[in-house]
Structures are given as C-alpha cells and as structure tokens.
Amino acid sequence: MAGYKYALPGPPFNFLGHMSQTQFGNLQTWVNARTGKFPPVQSNGQAGIQLHYQIRAQQLRKLAGVLEQYAGTLNDQKLTTAFQKEAWQPGPYGHFNYAPRQDHIPMVTASYLKNYMKPQFQRDDELWFFMNHIRTQIEKLEDAAQYANDAINSTSTNTSTANIKQLLSYIAAYFSQNRYQAVLVNDQSDTYGQGAAAGPRFRVHQMDAPTQWELERMNHSTPQTPIQIKESEDSLT
C-alpha cells in the first residue's frame, strides 16, 4: 500500500478491526486458501487440523488409562482421578471464605508430621496430579477438534460462533457502512485529494502521517494559510 509505512498489506496480518480494503482483500485470500486444512482429511489426503487434535486426544487416553489402572491397583495407596469437567459453581446461597481463627497451630503441628512422610506424600501427589492433568489435556484437545469443525461447519449466525466464510462476509459488509469508515478504510475507491496528496480519507495505522482529509478536519487556520497542526516554537514562548 503506497504511502503507508506502518500499515503492512500482510502477511503478517498484525491488525485486528482497523484495516484497509486492500488489507482485507489480502487477508480474505490468505484465509480462503487455508480453510481446507480444517476438515479431518484434507483434499490432498493428509490429516487435517480436526483429526490432528483427535489423534492427540486418543493418544492421551491410552496414557491416562495406564496411569489410572496403576494408581487403582498396584500403587500402595489406591488413588482415583478427581477430574470434573463441570466448572466450579457457588452454592444456592452464594459462597464466602470461612473465618480463620487459631488454625495455624494445628497447621504447624501437621507440617512436622508431613516432613517425615514428604517423599511418600509427593509420590502420591504427583501421581494424582498427572492423572487429573492428562484428563484436562484430553478435554482441551477435544475442544480444539470441535473448534476446528465449527470453523467450517458452524451454522450459527452469531459473530462469536459463526464459521469462517460467514465472518468474512460480515467484515465485507461492514466496509459499506459509513459508521466504520474511520477504521475500515476503503483505500481503493473512497479517496480524496489531488496529486501527491491523493489517498484514502483516513490513515490505516495510527503511526502513519495524517491524510489530507484528516489534516483538513484538524486545520484551524484561515483558508489562505497552509495547514499547520504542529505548534511553532515562537507560539510556545
């Protein structure tokens, strides 16, 4: 994009909701070329993103099964996983912390006892931790696989859950709405100025120099005076 120093046309696409028509076109082309990577099996026969996460989840299920079988049979202290998929919720009457009293006395006493048993405690603590940790990782991978599936198959019209093509169409529609013209800059057809000053009405990156349109909106001088938005040193003394 001519005239821009900081607003890169992409890739990389280091912008979010502030972009030009040119940047969006490049982003759209880049995204469309990669949506085929999401299905379980790509058109070239290779494993897709969804299947990748499903395979990793299945591998961890095998490891989780071995650990849980060992903990429940061969370990001297029989342990079971305490993993719960449901998130913690307060009770029907709300939740508050108990009022501490002289609880440091039994705590200190128990710590002396646990110092003796520390190696055995740690062994069980680590085993119990990893059983729950693996279950958590399995859930995260399954969520990632579902997310990859939703990327192309979601039928939701909500922006937070719509599929990739739907989201691209939403952004394209935003470009036609005047209320977004300062952040979704139409640098292809909505231009202003003549000669060297010609360009889009708004800059795409805040660090770039103001456009001719922006300068005229900020100008407080008379029409016969060149646009001056920087105060002179004389006016500051």
Determine the Cα angle at 93 with ends 88 and 95, to 5°: 50
Q: Are 30 and 177 in contact (CB under 8 A)?
A: no
Give the tens place of pLDDT for each residue, 124-155: 899 999 999 999 999 999 999 999 999 999 99
d(CA 3, CA 211): 10
pLDDT, position 103: 77
> Cβ contacts of residue 26 below 8 Å, gap of 6+?
9, 10, 11, 13
How far out from the chain centre does Cα 173 lie?
23
pLDDT, position 24: 94
pTM for the model stands at: 0.73
pLDDT, position 233: 57
- For the chain, residues with pLDDT lower than 50 are none
Q: How far is CA 146 from CA 59, 143, 162, in A?
A: 17, 5, 13
Q: Are 67 and 134 in contact (CB under 8 A)?
A: yes
d(CA 35, CA 165): 9
